[in-house]
Amino acid sequence: MRPESHHNGSLAVTVLVSVGRHPLTGRGRRADQDARAVELARSLTSAEVELLHAGRLDEGSEAALRGYLGMGFDSLSLLEQPVGADVLPAVAESLEAAGPQLVIAGERAEQGEGSGLLPYLLAERLGWPLVSGLAAVEDVTEGVATLLQALPRGQRRRLQVRLPAIVTVDAAAPAPRQSAYGPARRGRLEVQAAAVMDDADLAQWQAQPARKRPKRLKIVKAASARDRFKAAAAKAEGGGGQVLTDVAPEEGAAAIFKLLKEEGVLR
């Protein structure tokens, strides 16, 4: 990144962080995607990064939140919310008051409903554009950010978005740095009171540990025994593919070129 791109003042960035859950032990930890979001914010030059969390402060969550402080922060703002509350109003009011240029969040939480809706609802409420699945922020110049979005199959897309904006990151973003113990102990958790709204819907749902999804059976709809046997035992037969025999290499290459063009894999 070019350092001269930020000469008109620093960029105010807020990272929304949550308390994660280790997939094996079930202990609280830095949420993986949120830690990547913090790492992305840390990689921006001359950005003033603030951390924001909405939730309850107890023993388990404090250790996890201090994990974010250990990535090089003095303080973290914590909006006090009970378990099972809808954090949208509290976070939206806090963001409206602080007025950051860029809000970075992980795609989904590792606890609770984990629907990944919060960034979208925030964007709708604040009227800001939203870009999902970010791999990198390439440049921020005069209120326009150039972003690199991660697509499936390892592809990347370049986007430009006018700030203020909300962006979310997923596993394609750079891996987070290790949390340092000393800064994590020294950092302050600034607890603020905030409006509380109960999530009535969530309370009505029945939650249970995820059970393994049934494996899809291969259903063979065949009329005769021979067809069923073939489906079970035989290897794939020719699906009516086109075979070019006795052609010049140029002709064959032209046919392949046409197919590749049609499929749009040539750039």
Partner 1 sequence: MSDIVRRDPRKEWIARNRLHPQHLEVLAELGQGAASEWMGPAGLIRRNPHAVGFMGPNGLKRIDRSGVQQGAGGGGAAKSAAQSKPLVEIESPAFLVAVVPDMAGGRLTGHDRDLLGLARQLADADPAARGAVLAVVFGEHKEDDFEGAGVDRLLHLTGAEVDGFAPEARLGALVAMDRAWMPRHWLLPDSKLGGADLGRRLAARLGERPATGVWQLEADDEAAMGWRCTARGAAGTVDFQRAMPRLVLALAECAEPVSETRHAAEPLALPEVLPSQLSRIQDLGQVAVDPAGVALSEAEFILSAGNGVRDWDGFHHAAEVLGATEGASRVAVDDGFMARDRQVGATGTWVTARVYVAVGISGAIQHLQGIQTCDKVVAINMDPGCDMIKRADLAVIGDSAKVLEALVALVEQSREEKRNAA
Size of the site for partner 1 (CB under 8 A): 82
Nearer to partner 1, 99 or 249 (CB): 249
Nearer to partner 1, 2 or 213 (CB): 213
Cα(4)–Cα(200) distance, integer angstroms: 49
Integer Rg of the chain from CA: 25
Among 87, 103, 109, 184, binds partner 1 (CB under 8 A): 109
Instruction: Give the nearest distance from C-beta 59 to partner 1 in angstroms.
Output: 20
The verdict on 25 binding partner 1 (CB under 8 A) reads: no
DSSP string, 13-42: EEEE--EEE-TTT--EEE-HHHHHHHHHHH
Phi and psi at 121, nearest 5°, equal: -65, -40
φ/ψ region of 65 (left if φ > 0, alpha if ψ in -120 to 50, else beta) reads alpha
Instruction: Give the nearest distance from C-beta 221 to partner 1 in angstroms.
Output: 7
Instruction: Give the nearest distance from C-beta 80 to partner 1 in angstroms.
Output: 22
Residues 212-231 that bind partner 1 (CB under 8 A): 213, 216, 219, 221, 224, 226-227
Residues 43-62 that bind partner 1 (CB under 8 A): none
Nearer to partner 1, 97 or 243 (CB): 243
Nearest Cα to Cα of residue 128 among 86, 158, 95, 174: 95
The tokens for 249 are: 């290499």
Nearer to partner 1, 181 or 257 (CB): 257
